[in-house]
Structure 1
Amino acid sequence: MDHIYLDYNASTPLAPEVINTMIPLLQDFYGNPSALHWAGAPVKGLLQKAREQVASLLGCSSEEITFTSGGSEANNLALKGFFFKNKGKGSHIITSKIEHPAVINPCKFLERIGAKVTYVGVDQYGRVSPEEIEKAITKDTILISVMHSNNETGTLQPIQEIGNLAERNGIAFHTDASQSVGKVPVNVNDLKIDMLTIAGHKLYAPKGIGALYIRKGIELEPLIHGAGHESGLRAGTENTLLAVGLGTACKIAGSYVGSRELKELTEYFWDRLKKQFGDLVQLNGHPEERLPNTLNVSFVKRIGQDLLDKIPQLAASTGSACHAGSIELSPVLKEMAVPEQVGMGAIRFSLGRHTTKDEIDQVLLWLKKAIN
């Protein structure tokens, strides 16, 4: 095996079905979906079908789906759009310390223009406590934003409990589900979610496309002003090509959600790592409440990037960065209070639909050679 890809949390390859549904839009469907003539009508129909496919995966109506350029834009629209539209009701936002930068940095921006943001911590497994969120609520709290699953450790957050808490207190609830949609069941009504972020390239769809679910009744200020595209929330002619790709990806994702094959392969990998390396390897994240494809492990007293440098044919991610000879733990591992001698050896292996047992066995051999 020349190359093995275990970085599906960073990005996924396009599903063949996605490519096949996009090709006609490169050739024949060139009309503007807003146009009323023969060239625009079929394109509008394809855009609507894609919206319905995304909505079906989330258990919502198509009118509640807004297409964006990706997860970062969707998060920005949710946070900034809600704050700008609702700051007359209050200025306090609650989020967690382990959010993706696409949530943390918009919150930092909002703080500069008058928002008050509380960043709650996590336990040793990287889980947010609903009780800590409840303690942080004030009369000025208007929004809670907590990721559905962590992109580094795969730890799943108690989203349903937080959603119920937000609903009881009349507070809007947003979750960045970029990593979890398509891997675990996500129903916005069951989880009491008001806004939810999807990133296409985590879902075997193209880069440059995402979506924001916005519950009916939630009002946002647009970030991009212009004509009335996307129900007035995102000006600019819709990118039907990429939207159709995302819609198809959401449609086929339904058949993978809840599948045990990926979870069993990840468990096999972890079991073999423990047998092969013993106490030298430690799990980062929750042992059970985590994504079925994600394995973040530390090789104790080793440096994760050094190990990956010895295996150039393996694509995986490290949980720490090396700067001028010093090791800096990721903010997520820091918040989990992972000791430096453990955290510096962190590597995130994220499996996908195309990962095989033979590939896992090969990676185990590469790791053994690199460590020895």
Structure 2
Amino acid sequence: MNDALSLTVETAADHHLVRLSGVFTVHDLPGAEPRLAAIAADRAVLLDLAALERLDTAGAWALDRLEARIAEAGFTLETQGAAPHLSALMRRVDAAIPTPDLPEDTGPKGLTGRLDAIGRRVVDMGKHGGVFLNAFGMFLYRLGQSLRHPSRFHLTALVAHCEDVGWRAVPIVSLLSFLIGVVLAFQGATQLRQFGAEVFVVDLIAISILRELGILLTSIIVAGRTASAFTAAIGSMKMREEIDAMQTLGIDPAHALFVPRILALILMLPILGLVANVMGLLGGGIMSYLVLDISPGIFLVRLIEGTDVSNVFVGLIKAPVFAVIIGVVGCNAGMQVGSNAESLGRQTSNAVVQAIFAVIVADAIFSVFFAEIGL
């Protein structure tokens, strides 16, 4: 057996004849690669491997690069005489070499292209809506199973998630709601003072916070804080194949992971909304006293006389709906995580954006609905 690599190149009128014999391995690559690169890509190449005794992946890669260079110039490379195992190795190496991503086809320009892009976005939104409804239906079905079989319900997990979702969110919700009340009172006083209607700043603060801003801002804070936490927790479990292990052990992941988290949100978001309402009114009352000299007593009297209790219910009715939206989006995004950290980060970001967007859209729908029924 000849262990030395022999490489000869003969040029004919319509092709280059390249003969390889001996052994072509990674040890021969430094000497063989410059000679292969020197073959001009000005005609077809006939590669004779009848005398080649051994080839490894490095040698097969060098021959594949030669073929790619010849093909790029518009010619062909034909192999002859190769042993079956050498041909099989060359095919496997060629299949394993990654191909560069082609630039995305932007499609037709002009009006047709714009309509096509709009149609694709509408279809994508429909798919996202279908995925959301599927996850929501899964939650309702598992919740119904828990009600029929209370022994299967994970009460400990529910209490732990209530603490995380509710109690630990109280400081940030209280602070931001207090500041929103301060800003509303200050800006309202600045504008209403021009008309001598400073006392109506109490109505402005009360209606804005109780009907809209209290629960909406709370939901946005919870969406950013909790939806991302749900996605990260479930996504990490999926990456570590813990969910597959749960299924192997006969544990339903949706029952163990979805139901306690979403139910904790449904229970705690109305409470956080009440906290936000109280802190917002407190901030508005303090700023009204400092800027407009409206005493706490007058503020409270005006609040009771000028604000209907229906405003409180209008705000709190939205809380369970917002909670379901945030919980389903966060948990479902966690189940979409792939096997790498990049997928986890992308799904976490998507969960926050989608949850906030869905909450704002739902709030707008509620506002139109309540306006139509005169509430």
Q: Structure 2-normalised TM-score? A: 0.20
The higher radius of gyration belongs to 2
Q: Structure 1-normalised TM-score? A: 0.20
Determine which structure has greater relative contact order: mean sequence separation of CA pairs < 8 Å that are 6+ residues apart, divided by chain length. Answer: 1
Considering fraction of residues, name the structure with more helix: 2
